[in-house]
Amino acid sequence: MSVVLDNGLSWREVARIGEGETLVLSDRAIARLARAREIVDAIVTAGIRAYGVNTGVGALSDTVVDIASQSRLSRNIVLSHACGVGPLLAPREVRAIIAAQIANFCHGHSGVRPAVVSHLAAFLSKDCIPDVPSKGSAGYLTHNAHTALVLIGEGHAAVRGERMTGREALATIGLSPLVLEAKEGLSLVNGTACATGLASLALSRAERLLKWADVIAALTLEAAGCQMAAFDEAVLALRPSAGIAKVGATLRARLAGSGLVAAAVGRRTQDALSLRAVPHAHGAAWDVFEQSGAIVDRELASVTDNPAVSGTPEQPVVSSQAHAVAPALGQAADSLAVAIAQIAAMSERRMDRLVNPLVSGLPPFLASDAGSHSGFMIAQYTATALSTENRRLASPAAMDGGITSGLQEDFLAHPTAAANKLLAILDNAEHILAIELMAAAQAHDFLTGMGERAAGTQAVYSMVRENVAHYEDDRPLGADIEALRTLIAGENPAA
């Protein structure tokens, strides 16, 4: 399938492109690109002073560059800024960044030639993935520069999974290296495409994870014999929240008709908070998710180049500003990171209540033969370790600070770092929820004959058993965790 870019892209569309869909530009988008390039050409011809067009960049912004050197400036910007380090980003992450970058250019205020954008779009359609190191960007520069390397025949890329040089990659997909013109080097490394693309993917993963968190909690609540009165619609409405209402409705629907829940009515005055507060914690995360999605969509609708060009070729306007700085985007990623980390921490606590013989009422550690079997004892260690790592990762990147470029850039918002650690927290959260899901299904195996599962939880239980069998210390448990993590990361829960 293809996504058509006309007036812009949403985070959902960027995520779809990241996962493999191609991008097609409308005639209007192409016309905006061409018009902006005409304005840049007019700026160059008229000699209007413009940052990164006929001046150096960063602390060299007052150094004028003559017309003959402006193409070389663009190339040099790409080469000097391509200094990322560390493991490479995953292909879907690079694709999402490219999609967000194309969307920014197509607002018509960057001034890159249509040929630059058509090359980037070809990367998406022909499965050409530039090597982009994951670390080194205080804001946005290094990641984008590594993609730009391949445009000019430098660097490396993988074409349909085969790694080669940038020049070889271009030849493989039928393109020639670009010779960059004035402003194009700066535009290619500039803007918030990196953080926006990564955040779009994170939102897509977070939405799926939150859906799973709600239904996994329902399976655990049923196994624990929860007191459903706490989730009554009227009771939850006492604390107005769209997220709380959403989660409450999901729990009531999933647990409707449960014989296990019916048998537990009045067993306790109230449940532990890891059970009773599911609507509140999960609901808060859903609320943060919606807010974060709105911020990322606003970012995608924004021009994030510096400088921006506007006006007409006859009366060109170049505006130096700070649109490439994205405090709101970094704060949104930080907020969602905290929310997902908290969801995962609560999942670990619920899982402990299933395996802990002091509170579960089930066989110790859900072992088939406690003593000779350890069951899920050490799986809970894994969940705890991942949860504590999330606690460290949830520290806000927006407050990291830092000063770069000889005091010219003396404020940094760190949106890319915020998006990267959100993705890392999601990795851990998917594993933690997989462990809870595995434990909840095992707990249900010990409740056979004590009451029927609800239809909504039976569907989830069946999905688990289609992927992993009841555990009897007969195989490495890590493989089961990975199987359920793959399920959570790749599919929505059964209806």
375-409 pLDDT per residue, tens: 999 999 999 999 999 999 999 988 877 777 676 67
| Spatial CA neighbour of 357 closest among 347, 346, 367, 345 | 367
* Four-CA torsion 348, 353, 355, 360, nearest 10 degrees: -170
pLDDT tens sequence for the chain (495 residues): 899 999 999 999 999 999 999 999 999 999 999 999 999 999 888 888 877 677 766 656 666 666 777 888 899 999 999 999 999 999 999 999 999 999 999 999 999 999 999 999 999 999 999 999 999 887 678 999 999 999 999 999 999 999 999 999 999 999 999 999 999 999 999 999 999 999 999 999 999 999 999 999 999 999 999 999 999 999 999 999 999 999 999 999 999 999 999 999 999 999 999 999 999 999 999 999 999 999 999 999 999 988 999 999 999 998 988 888 899 999 999 999 999 999 999 999 999 999 999 999 899 999 988 778 889 999 999 999 999 999 999 999 888 777 776 766 766 778 999 999 999 999 999 999 999 999 999 999 999 989 999 999 999 999 999 999 999 999 999 999 999 999 999 999 988
Q: How far apart are CA 188 and CA 335, in angstroms?
A: 28
Note the pTM of the prediction, 2 decimals.
0.95
| Spatial CA neighbour of 118 closest among 160, 173, 73, 70 | 173
pLDDT of residue 53: 76
Chain position carrying tokens 């039928």: 174
| Spatial CA neighbour of 86 closest among 120, 132, 130 | 132
Q: How far apart are CA 276 and CA 182, in angstroms?
A: 60
Residue 89 DSSP symbol: P
Which helix (H) or strand (E) segment is 334 a member of? helix 327-355
Question: What is the total residue count of the chain?
Answer: 495
Inter-CA distances, 97 with 191, 466, 479, Å: 11, 35, 32
Chain position carrying tokens 């969602």: 336
Residue 316 DSSP symbol: E
CATH architecture of 199-490: Up-down Bundle (1.20)
pLDDT of residue 495: 81
CA atoms within 13 A on the CB side of 402: 14
Catalytic residue, candidates 51, 140, 461, 471? 51
pLDDT tens sequence across 453-493? 999 999 999 999 999 999 999 999 999 999 999 999 999 99
Confirm if 225 and 270 have CB atoms less than 8 A apart.
Answer: no
C-alpha of 183 from chain center: 30
**Share of the chain residues as helix, strand and coil, in percent rounded to the nearest 5:** 60, 10, 35
pLDDT of residue 56: 62
Q: How far apart are CA 220 and CA 169, in angstroms?
A: 50
Bridge partners of 308? 319
Angle at 493 between CA 329 and CA 489, to 5 degrees: 50
Q: How far apart are CA 198 and CA 195, in angstroms?
A: 5
Confirm if 255 and 218 have CB atoms less than 8 A apart.
Answer: yes
Q: How far apart are CA 492 and CA 495, in angstroms?
A: 9
Q: Domain residues of the chain, as ranges? A: 2-190, 199-490
Could you give the 3-state DSSP secondary structure of residue 165? Answer: strand
Q: Any catalytic annotation for residue 140?
A: no
Non-local (6+) Cβ contacts of 414 within 8 A are 138, 139, 330, 397, 398, 400, 402
pLDDT of residue 106: 98
| Spatial CA neighbour of 132 closest among 197, 205, 58 | 197
Work out the end-to-end distance of the chain between its first and last CA atoms, rounded to an integer number of angstroms. Answer: 25
CATH entry, 2-190, from 1.20.1050.140, 1.10.275.10, 1.10.260.40, 3.30.460.10: 1.10.275.10
Phi first, then psi, for residue 15 (nearest 5°) are -65, -40
pLDDT of residue 469: 97
Bridge partners of 163? 158
